[in-house]
Each structure stands twice: as structure tokens, then as C-alpha cells.
Amino acid sequence: MALTRRQKEVLDFIAQFVDDNRHCPSYEEIAAGLQLASLATVHKHIQTLETKQYLRRGFNQSRSLELSSAYLREFKRQKEAVSGGRMEVPLLGRIAAGAPVESVAGQETMSFAELTGDKDMYALQVRGESMIEDHICDGDFVLIERTADVRNGDTVVALVRGMETTLKRFYREGEGQIRLQPANAALAPIFVPAAEVEVQGRLVAVLRKYR
């Protein structure tokens, strides 16, 4: 039976927890790990997943969850696909989300699942808080599709005057001007002649590591 996005997250959390700790998570740990509002919500998800035959649970025991063999095979396959390097993109350096800074290429890579497809992608790490109202924070990683074909309102990587890059919303203004708009009410937009801006990619996804 089909899973909802949240049900898949619950299964993935349980599987990863077991993989890391060699025992099942408690309902309290599931609630905390997935930021669920209450244990009742966890019970509901577990009951539904049991009905769909994705897991089994022992009577009145919160650490006796047993994932189905079919789900475990799929989880292992996805994990091996990522660790095998098939979903890696270059980590080229750090990108300013404040004043533009020089972009320096690196040799690291980052792995992503179900995002890259056949597109030409790369990753950058954000520095600064000019995009915080778009929920892009200092320290986040952004996944960028390498393209110059963007529309007004797209969040882009822009190379300014051939030497500085920044992450901003892109707008074409009159008289050959480009407005690079921060998502922070405390900061002013950057206006640059179109000839001095090179769009190096469009934002596809944001990754934030909490622990």
C-alpha cells in the first residue's frame, strides 16, 4: 500500500535509528527526532504502518518495532546508492548571503538523493543571513542547477563584476539593470548593470544539518 510523505519519514527514521544504535527507538525518541507534537501522533503513525504491513510491533512495548523485509531491502538499496557515489555533486566552496565575496573552488563532494536527476548540479555552503526570510540560513547547504536560463523571482547564484558571487533573488529592471534582492528586510537590494552580472545557477534545494 502507498505511503504518505510523513509515513515514509517515520519508517526511514526508525530504520536509520536501528542502523545507528542496534535497537529500536522508543515512541518518545521518534516524536523528538521527527518533531511530532505528541506521542498520540506517533501511535497513530505506527498503527497505520502496521495496518499497511510495513512494520510489526509487540503488544504494549515501545521498543519492539520490526520493519518488514521488503521495506528493509528498499532502505538498504537507497542507502547503498547514496554511499556508492551515484548521487554526488561537487562542493565548490562557500557562497555569500550577505556582501558578495570571492568564490573559491574546492575538491569536496556532497551526496543527495532524488534531487539531481540528469541535471548539471553543484553544492555551495551559505555564509551570511541575507536570505533568512526565505529560510536560507548561515551554514545551510544549497543545491544549485547550473544554468543561466532564469526568471524574475528565481533565487540564483550571481557572479558580480567577474569576481564576486552572491545568492539572491533575481529581477530584471529597466534600462539594463539587474536587481539582486536579499530576503532580509534589514538589507538593501544590489543594483548592477546587466553586463556585469553572470548567472551561474538556480536554487533547487536547501539542506540544513541539525546534528
In the chain, what's the furthest Cα-to-Cα distance? 71
Q: Looking at residue 103, what is its pLDDT?
A: 57
26, 69, 130, 209: the active-site residue: 130
Q: Would you say residue 25 has pLDDT above 90?
A: no
Unique residue bearing C-alpha cell 550571481: 158
Question: In whole angstroms, what is the distance from residue 87 CA to residue 125 CA?
Answer: 18
Does the annotation count 69 as an active-site position? no
44, 76, 168, 209: the active-site residue: 168
In 75-196, beta strands by DSSP E: 88-96, 108-111, 121-127, 141-145, 155-160, 164-173, 177-181, 190-193
Distance in angstroms between the alpha carbons of the first and the last residue of the chain: 32
Q: Looking at residue 173, what is its pLDDT?
A: 92
Does the annotation count 130 as an active-site position? yes
Task: Tell me the pTM.
Answer: 0.51
Task: Please report which confidence band the pLDDT of residue 33 belongs to, taking 50, 70 and 90 as the band edges.
Answer: confident
In 8-163, beta strands by DSSP E: 55-57, 65-67, 88-96, 108-111, 121-127, 141-145, 155-160
Q: Would you say residue 189 has pLDDT above 80?
A: yes
The least confident of 4-8, 173-177, 180-184, 193-197 is 4-8
Q: Looking at residue 13, what is its pLDDT?
A: 87
Bigger pLDDT: 60 or 66?
66
Strand partners, 94: 125
